[in-house]
Structure 1
Amino acid sequence: MQIKELAQATGVDAETIRYYEKAGLLPAPARRDNGYRDYGEGHLERLSFVRHCRALDMPLAEVAQLLQFLDAPPEDCSDINRLVDDQLARVRARLKSMRALEKQLLQLRARCTDAHAGHCGILDELVAAAHGEACACHAPRDMPRN
């Protein structure tokens, strides 16, 4: 199959497929007489595997490691478990950060209940924060000492 067919079958952009080839995540395909790439079923499966790992937000370096494990399965899965545990820790850290961001935005949003901008508590808070003052969503910054 041509690259456009592989792209359609997997939902991965053709440029991304070429990038994955250059990065070594996909083996180089055979070439047709006209020079076009000729992808096979193995490319489809491998690209689908990569796409699924990327959907789990795994870094490409870790996807490459998983592909190595796929190509030569280890006797025990401890390294594979470690990769997934590391990704899980990164996701949990991002969730914690996103919850903190949500809390800050809720605190900021609570500053303005009026529908007009003549005197908007949100804008007042943002201006105060820009001047280094305390605002509803952040603790006050330390003032410079003389």
Structure 2
Amino acid sequence: MKVSELARQAGVAASAVRSYEAEGILPQPRRTATGYRQYGEADLCRLRVLVTLRSLGIDLHEAGRLAATCADGRCDDMVVDLLPRLVARRAEVANARAELDHLDAELATAERALRSGATNLSLCEGNEASDDSADCDPDGACCRRV
């Protein structure tokens, strides 16, 4: 199959396939007498593994290495290498989720305060990073000009 067909079946752009080849992520394919790239089912399988690993957040070069391991007939070795990476990736996702949950709670608090008539969100008060409360106007304005 040609590069466009390979790309279509793998769900990527043909330019991505060419880029992967140029970067050494995928091996150079056979060429027809007229110079067209020619791919087989093994190439499609390798590309699909690569695309799947990328969708899981695995670094491109690492995904290419793992896909090559499987393409070489050592899929069990790929699994052994991949499992700790998936565990680490899930930990990254859990941390990101916790950060987003914290941000969402802060946004909800600010939204409730503004909807209930607050005018300054206590931007000067309670800031643990610095003591800017001296810059707050007693009349409730957020921060006075210094």
**TM-score normalised by structure 1 residue count:** 0.70
Residue from 91, 97, 117 that aligns with 1:95: 97
Shift of 1:63: 1.2
Residue from 106, 117, 141 that aligns with 2:108: 106
Q: What are the within-5 Å matches in structure 2 for residues 135-146 of structure 1? A: 139-143=127-131
- C-alpha distance after superposition, 1:83-138 (max 9, x if no partner): 22222222222222221222222122223338xxxx885xx54xx75xxx358xxx
8 Å Cα contact 1:62/1:83 also seen in 2? no
User: Which residue number in structure 2 is paired with residue 13 of structure 1?
Assistant: 13
Return structure 1 stretches of 4+ with deviation > 6 angstroms.
none
The letter of the residue matching 1:2 is: K
3-state SS in 2 of match to 1:81: helix
Larger radius of gyration: 2
8 Å Cα contact 1:3/1:37 also seen in 2? yes
Q: Does 1:30 align with 2:18?
A: no
Judged with a 3 Å threshold, the aligned counterparts in structure 2 of structure 1 residues 104 and 61 are, in CA distance, closer, same or farther, namely farther
3-state SS in 1 of match to 2:84: helix
The letter of the residue matching 2:81 is: D
Instruction: Structure 1 unaligned segments of length 5 or more: list them.
Output: none
The letter of the residue matching 2:93 is: V
User: Which residue number in structure 2 is paired with residue 54 of structure 1?
Assistant: 54
Measure the CA separation in 1 of the matches of 2:53 and 2:94: 17
8 Å Cα contact 1:134/1:141 also seen in 2? no
Shift of 1:36: 2.1
The letter of the residue matching 1:141 is: A
Larger mean CA deviation between 19-28 and 72-81 belongs to 72-81
Judged with a 3 Å threshold, the aligned counterparts in structure 2 of structure 1 residues 35 and 65 are, in CA distance, closer, same or farther, namely closer
Judged with a 3 Å threshold, the aligned counterparts in structure 2 of structure 1 residues 68 and 36 are, in CA distance, closer, same or farther, namely closer
3-state SS in 1 of match to 2:57: coil
Matched residues, number: 130
